[in-house]
Amino acid sequence: MDLELRHLRIVGAIAASGSITKAAGELGIAQPALTAQLRRIERLLGGPLFERDHRGVRPTALGDLVVSRAALLLPAVNGLLEDAARLTETSRSAVPDQVALGSSTSSILAPLIRRLTETAPELTVSTTASWSADDLAGELAAGRLDFCVVGVCGGSGPPPGDDLEWRTFSVDPVFVLLPEDHALARQTEVTLADLADAEWAATPGDGCFETCFHQACLRAGFTPRSLYVADAASCIELVASGTAVALCQATRTLPGLVTLPLKDVPLRWIHMVGWRPASAAAGLAPAVQRSVEKAHADLVARSEVYSDWLDDHPEFGVAS
């Protein structure tokens, strides 16, 4: 991970407020997600940036150094952005006041719409959902969508499509979904081999995910008995009824079901946002990217299991 301007803004906000909780509110980030980001910044810089006491947090010597340098760098960058904005004001005025979003990840739509409309209250948002990232990319390339948010297997690249730009905003492990009365439900993590006798379920997807799953099972020493490919509601019912266990996104939380990490991360899922750089809506790309990152952070913060797991696996989560 490289040091970025957003990292300096985070450190500056925490120092100015004297509280991680207050800084999270000011930045529009969930407190657990901000704490996790601070830990990653501290790992990058080689030491703690803040000390806690009964009054809140205060910078260490290293923190003072970072805060002082940020005070010089951030105004200069903000000035650059303001000057660039003035030069491109004509083109920016052509940005539409409505945007069509497509998503293959239904759980992110609600927090994404909320975050995007917070950033641009005048914006009208319409949505399209599909399990197929390839189909959404086709709609994007044809101009029927302005942006799409998709997930692809860690062994795949971006969906196909001419003249599309893709940005990765998170790399997540694939977890497993079990009924809460399952014999392994109280474990902190499981292996694929622990579930060698299980029936499996997963939502449909393009690309190599099924192949990667079967190969991971073979490496674990078994051949899966089955893989039921079904919509999300059917997968949940298969798990709740005890018929199968399901491969799921790490942010998934459901009453009566338990989400557990798979040891050694045999499968991973890459989340991307895409658009056409030549489209009229392309000027909204920075705002959409920020909103997508915040929306994903909202989902992470809702999952205590994944938030705790990320503390020990900082190489996953929000892409830097």
Separation of alpha carbons 247 and 258, rounded Å: 12
pLDDT confidence of residue 90: 47
pLDDT confidence of residue 150: 95
Question: In this structure, are 113 and 202 located in the same domain?
Answer: yes
Is residue 206 domain-resident?
yes
Question: In this structure, are 155 and 233 located in the same domain?
Answer: yes
Which of 87, 111, 144 is where one domain is finished?
A: 87
Give the residue from 148, 138, 267 showing the smallest Cα distance to 202.
267
Separation of alpha carbons 227 and 212, rounded Å: 12
Model confidence pTM above 0.85: no
Question: In this structure, are 105 and 32 located in the same domain?
Answer: no
pLDDT confidence of residue 318: 74
Question: In this structure, are 146 and 234 located in the same domain?
Answer: yes
Mean pLDDT of the chain: 90
Q: Which amino acid is at 9?
A: R
Domain hosting residue 68, numbered range = 5-87
pLDDT confidence of residue 122: 86
Is residue 92 domain-resident?
no
Any idea which residue has 């692809």 for tokens?
A: 152
Question: What is the CATH number for 50?
Answer: 1.10.10.10
Separation of alpha carbons 208 and 63, rounded Å: 44
Contact criterion met (CB below 8 Å) for 154 and 267: yes
Interior/surface letters 67-80, b for 16+ CB within 10 angstroms, e for the rest: beebeeeeeeeeee
Q: For a pLDDT cut of 70, what percent of the chain falls above it?
A: 96
**Helix orientation angle between 31-45 and 20-27, rounded to the nearest 10 degrees:** 110
pLDDT confidence of residue 26: 84
The number of domains in the chain is: 2
pLDDT of 244 higher than 60:
yes
Q: Which amino acid is at 275?
A: W
Q: Which is higher by pLDDT, 293 or 32?
A: 293
Question: In this structure, are 129 and 52 located in the same domain?
Answer: no
Question: In this structure, are 79 and 107 located in the same domain?
Answer: no
pLDDT confidence of residue 207: 83
pLDDT confidence of residue 130: 92
202, 281, 293 from 155: Cα distances, Å = 17, 30, 22
Q: Which is higher by pLDDT, 219 or 156?
A: 219
**Tens digits of residue pLDDT in 229-241:** 999 999 999 999 9
**Tens digits of residue pLDDT in 4-60:** 888 998 999 999 999 998 888 888 788 888 888 899 899 989 999 999 888 889 999
pLDDT confidence of residue 92: 47
Question: What is the CATH number for 172?
Answer: 3.40.190.290
Report the 3 state secondary structure along 233-287. Answer: HHHHHHHHCCCCEEEEECCCCCCCEEEECECCCCCEEEEEEEECCCCHHHHHHHH
**Tens digits of residue pLDDT in 137-179:** 999 999 999 999 999 998 888 898 878 999 999 999 999 999 9
Q: Which amino acid is at 141?
A: A
Question: In this structure, are 193 and 116 located in the same domain?
Answer: yes
Which of 64, 87, 110 is where one domain is finished?
A: 87
Q: Which amino acid is at 283?
A: G
